[in-house]
Amino acid sequence: MLTIVILTKDEQANLPGCLTAIPERYPIVIVDSGSTDNTVPIANSRGCRVYTNPWPGFAEQRNFAIRQCDISTPWILFVDADEIYPQVFYDWFESGVAGNDAIDVWMVPSILYLRGKRLNYAPGYPIYHPRLVRTETASFVRNHTGHGEAVMNTCRIGYSAIAYEHYFYHGEIIEWMHKHVDKAAQEVQLQPTAGAVMTTRGRLSVLLGRSWFRVIARFLYHFVFRGGFLDGVAGLEFALMFTWYEATIYLQAKAGAQAR
């Protein structure tokens, strides 16, 4: 009833734990975008089917998995290599979702971990992502940021109450910053895809536009209003990281406006 799809590139550090948490009864498809480490051998050792496709973006890579990877099960669960879905999620799927014909896409919440510490406040929950999708009816489009993904509002949407664990950051700050500079460049111009499902966060982001006020607001949101201070040093680190990201977007937007 369900195929697990994992998008990878150089995920040898994260992939073993991700695979271990997936029940063995589910087939696993790896869509790799050019790993140069042991990601593919690790996937092969677990018996995963591995496909290779140069990275086109999250939405396009997920569509590649749906359409080009010979998936015959009615449902697909997209799992990133740094994510763990608890057993209770799979139990919920098998007991109530597998035979449900009224939903095309389930939005699944995430819980973020920084350096292995669970963040209970700073990120501002719930954070929903379209992860459990019906194979025949779901497709992805780029969301308002230009690098994330969304589904069209023609899909029938449901919301799961069971969160997955996202171990998004282990302390490799330079690597994280390099990756997010590129993301910031894509996010300079917020262009919502017509007809795409937008989260409340997405709508608020578009409403605020690109101004210096967002930089200050980002820190206040994570650390003060959402109680990030209650997460201690990890909450402060999270708030500072994403305030830096917001400042990077603002500076790139300002530079682009001056160039024009």
DSSP 48-108: -EEEE-----HHHHHHHHHHHS---SSEEEE--TTEE--HHHHHHIIIIITT--S-SEEEE
Q: What are phi and psi of 199, to 5 degrees?
A: -80, 170
Look at residue 2 and tell me whether its pLDDT is greater than 90. yes
The backbone region for 166, taken as left when phi is positive above 0, alpha when psi lies in -120 to 50, beta otherwise, is beta
How far apart, in whole angstroms, are the C-alpha atoms of residue 205 and residue 221? 13
pLDDT tens per residue across span 29-49: 999 999 999 999 999 999 999
Place of tokens 């350096």: 115
CA-CA-CA-CA dihedral for 36, 37, 41, 47, to nearest 10: -90
State residue 87's pLDDT score: 97
Average confidence score pLDDT of the chain? 91
| Contacts within 8 Å (CB) and 24+ apart, 10-13 | 10/35, 10/36, 10/37, 10/39, 11/35, 11/37, 11/39, 11/81, 11/82, 12/37, 12/38, 12/39, 12/42, 13/170
**Cβ atoms of 90 and 111 closer than 8 Å:** no
Q: Residue 148 — very low, low, confident or very high, per pLDDT cuts 50/70/90?
A: confident
CA 221 to chain centre: 20
Q: What percent of the chain has pLDDT over 70?
A: 93
pLDDT tens per residue across span 171-198: 999 999 998 888 888 776 767 677 778 7
How far apart, in whole angstroms, are the C-alpha atoms of residue 232 and residue 226? 13
Q: Across the strands, what pairs with 129?
A: 108
State residue 28's pLDDT score: 98
Q: What percent of the chain has pLDDT over 90?
A: 73
State residue 259's pLDDT score: 72
pTM score: 0.92
Q: Across the strands, what pairs with 3?
A: 76
State residue 190's pLDDT score: 65
Angle between helices 173-186 and 233-259 (to 10 degrees): 40
State residue 208's pLDDT score: 66
Least confident of 76-80, 124-128, 181-185: 181-185
pLDDT tens per residue across span 211-229: 788 899 999 999 999 999 9
State residue 209's pLDDT score: 66
Least confident of 15-24, 27-36, 247-256: 247-256
User: Can you tell me the mean pLDDT for 89-109?
Assistant: 93
State residue 257's pLDDT score: 66
State residue 168's pLDDT score: 95
User: Can you tell me the mean pLDDT for 105-131?
Assistant: 97
Place of tokens 């917020």: 190
